């Protein structure tokens, strides 16, 4: 079954029964929850900047992890190509909650076997983040001259997310935490999945020399 539209989960209704316990697995409400799709939370270079920009939703909303990842990639790739390392971009939310769905069949006569019970628990299908109004989804730090570039990056990110947003800009030139950071900064490494690649670089093995007749059966050791 394909991915359901965002309108099915974006509204916050009641309590989220999605507890996952590693210490006491028997007390978990959800077992076998999938891993979140957000691959990286800190991007760019963590150093001293001029402005801090937050992307804040106007109301309480749910974001699925694949939409957060799509928004992160679209914004980060644009800033990475334009600003290179003169920015620091952070994902401020984590998809803790689990999306549960009832799988339905798409064949003839499926309406008689795929309805199920009302308000049933369902099976884990993905992750989502619950964000309250006023809490930022993304946060970026840049120099003042690069503000138009960041606005374009945020615009590209908002296309991937549901709801309406407010962009908050704050001057942090004299902020104590910002002044504690170095001018050169520390560059965030990209999280790349390790892939085992077998490369045949070893030379062809040669046969061991044949021992003389007196020592037949005892192979000669290579020095």
Query: Residue 27: pLDDT band by 50, 70, 90 thresholds?
Result: confident
The fold adopted by the segment(s) 45-101+132-187 is: Aldehyde Oxidoreductase; domain 3 (3.90.1170)
- Measured N-to-C along each axis, helices 65-83 and 147-159 cross at an angle, to the nearest 10 degrees, of 150
The ranges assigned to domains in the chain are: 45-101+132-187
142 in Cβ contact with 173 (< 8 Å): no
Q: How far apart are CA 220 and CA 215, in angstroms?
A: 9
Q: In this model, does residue 108 exceed pLDDT 70?
A: no
Q: In this model, does residue 15 exceed pLDDT 70?
A: yes
Q: Which long-range contacts (CB under 8 A, 24 or more apart) does 26-31 make?
A: 30/98, 30/100, 30/124, 31/124
Query: Residue 199: pLDDT band by 50, 70, 90 thresholds?
Result: very low
Q: What is the pTM of this model?
A: 0.76
Q: In this model, does residue 71 exceed pLDDT 90?
A: yes
Query: Residue 72: pLDDT band by 50, 70, 90 thresholds?
Result: very high
The pLDDT value recorded for residue 116 is 59
Residue 119's SS3 state is: coil
């Amino acid at each position: 079954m394909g991915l359901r539209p965002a309108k099915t989960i974006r509204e916050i209704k009641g309590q989220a029964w999605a507890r996952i316990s590693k210490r006491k697995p028997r007390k978990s409400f959800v077992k076998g929850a999938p891993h979140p799709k957000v691959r990286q939370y800190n991007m760019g270079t963590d150093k001293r900047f001029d402005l801090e920009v937050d992307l804040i939703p106007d109301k309480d909303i749910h974001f699925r992890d694949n939409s957060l990842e799509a928004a992160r990639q679209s914004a980060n790739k644009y800033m990475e190509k334009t600003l290179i390392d003169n920015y620091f971009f952070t994902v401020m939310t984590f998809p803790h909650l689990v999306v549960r769905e009832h799988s339905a069949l798409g064949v003839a006569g499926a309406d008689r076997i795929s309805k199920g019970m009302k308000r049933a628990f369902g099976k884990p299908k993905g992750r989502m983040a619950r964000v309250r109004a006023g809490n930022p989804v993304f946060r970026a730090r840049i120099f003042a001259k690069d503000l138009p570039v960041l606005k374009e990056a945020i615009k590209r990110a908002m296309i991937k997310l549901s709801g309406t947003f407010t962009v908050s800009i704050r001057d942090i030139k004299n902020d104590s935490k910002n002044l504690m950071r170095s001018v050169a900064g520390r560059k965030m490494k990209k999280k790349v999945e390790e892939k085992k690649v077998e490369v045949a670089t070893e030379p062809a093995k040669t046969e061991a020399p044949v021992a003389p007749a007196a020592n037949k059966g005892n192979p000669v050791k290579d020095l």
